[in-house]
């Protein structure tokens, strides 16, 4: 029995309590995931989910639209463009590491690198590009990395998310492990991501109004007014895992990269609209 079937058997037990019965090929999963939200909120077009909670909360949406008139992430996009075009000490630039020389490629990440046998996110690709050119890697919550990622998202706005899961045992195992992470209960509060962002989407947990996971990866990095700075998708994963009182993983850990792989695949077909602004 291969790894994929073992993981599937293991997930069968979990499946029984799942609200969205997703159990099949990645494409079957994606169709079921999107259909769940369509059935649950028939008035919300699928394309709206890229706006997170503002797809489901009209009052909060007005405030957010006002914020978007003077986007607080603009400085990050500008800084990112400068950094992107500044040559490394060896004279080469980021553009040599990316398809299309960099702009407009956000929707292709994360991708599975068969040679390395792992999921490569955009942030990791940026750091690998630095290292191959003799520069040191940026820390994952640095302004520099978030700015570069903001610029790359900005130049990809409107492009359809197109994450590929090749027919490669390593890629399928990475996808399944991300999926399992997503549906597994964890922490002292014993919550899975799906408990809040699928079952309870649109509802309040104390003062928090919960968004759907569909579309989550479309708008990162985001400017969080609460922190007054840009944050990455993995920083959000970190916060949500910590909030259920489980031990968070580091940004760009294998666990979070696989989770991002699964979650972004679920949003295939929606557009990139990053960077975003959130409370």
Taking alpha carbons only, the member of 170, 195, 215 closest to residue 49 is 215
CB atoms within 10 A of CB 190: 11
Asked about 240 being catalytic, the answer comes back as yes
Does residue 103 contact residue 111 with C-beta atoms inside 8 Å? no
Which of 88, 243 has the CB closer to ligand HEC? 243
Q: What is the residue whose two structure tokens read 């979990």? A: 14
CB 185, min distance to ligand HEC, A: 9
- Structure tokens given for 47: 């394309």
Does residue 266 contact residue 175 with C-beta atoms inside 8 Å? no
Give the C-alpha distances (Å, rounded to integers) separating 77 from 80, 108, 186, 187, 259: 5, 19, 35, 36, 26
Which of 133, 200 has the CB closer to ligand HEC? 200
Does residue 151 contact residue 265 with C-beta atoms inside 8 Å? no
Taking alpha carbons only, the member of 75, 196, 217, 198 closest to residue 143 is 75
d(CA 70, CA 99): 31
CB 142, min distance to ligand HEC, A: 20
CB 257, min distance to ligand HEC, A: 12
Which of 14, 83 has the CB closer to ligand HEC? 14
Annotated active-site residue in 15, 97, 193, 240: 240
d(CA 182, CA 19): 13
Binding site for ligand HEC (CB under 6 A): 52-53, 191, 193, 195-197, 205, 208, 210-211, 216, 222, 233, 236-237, 240-241, 243-244, 259, 278
Q: What is the residue whose two structure tokens read 């590491």? A: 97
Which of 93, 253 has the CB closer to ligand HEC? 253
Which of 68, 195 has the CB closer to ligand HEC? 195
CB 179, min distance to ligand HEC, A: 11
d(CA 242, CA 247): 6
CB 167, min distance to ligand HEC, A: 26
Q: Which residues are catalytic?
A: 240
């Amino acid at each position: 029995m291969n790894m994929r079937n073992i993981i599937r058997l293991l997930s069968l037990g979990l499946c029984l309590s799942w609200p969205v019965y997703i159990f099949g090929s990645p494409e079957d999963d994606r169709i079921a995931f999107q259909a769940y939200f369509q059935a649950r909120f028939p008035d919300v077009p699928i394309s709206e989910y890229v706006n997170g909670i503002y797809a489901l909360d009209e009052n909060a949406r007005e405030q957010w639209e006002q914020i978007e008139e003077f986007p607080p992430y603009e400085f990050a996009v500008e800084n990112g463009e400068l950094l992107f075009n500044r040559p490394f000490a060896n004279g080469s630039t980021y553009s040599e590491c990316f398809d299309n020389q960099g702009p407009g490629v956000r929707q292709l990440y994360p991708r599975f690198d068969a040679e390395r046998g792992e999921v490569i996110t955009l942030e990791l690709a940026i750091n690998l590009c630095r290292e191959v050119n003799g520069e040191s890697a940026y820390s994952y919550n640095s302004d520099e990395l978030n700015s570069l990622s903001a610029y790359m998202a900005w130049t990809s706005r409107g492009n359809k998310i197109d994450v590929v899961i090749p027919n490669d045992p390593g890629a399928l195992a990475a996808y399944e492990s991300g999926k399992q992470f997503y549906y597994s209960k964890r922490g002292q509060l014993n919550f899975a991501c799906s408990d809040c962002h699928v079952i309870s989407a649109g509802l309040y947990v104390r003062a928090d109004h919960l968004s759907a996971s569909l579309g989550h990866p479309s708008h990162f990095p985001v400017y969080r007014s609460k922190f007054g700075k840009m944050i990455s998708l993995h920083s959000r994963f970190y916060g949500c895992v910590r909030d259920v009182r489980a031990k968070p993983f580091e940004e760009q850990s294998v666990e979070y990269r696989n989770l991002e792989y699964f979650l972004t695949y679920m949003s295939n077909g929606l557009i990139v609209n990053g960077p975003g602004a959130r409370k």
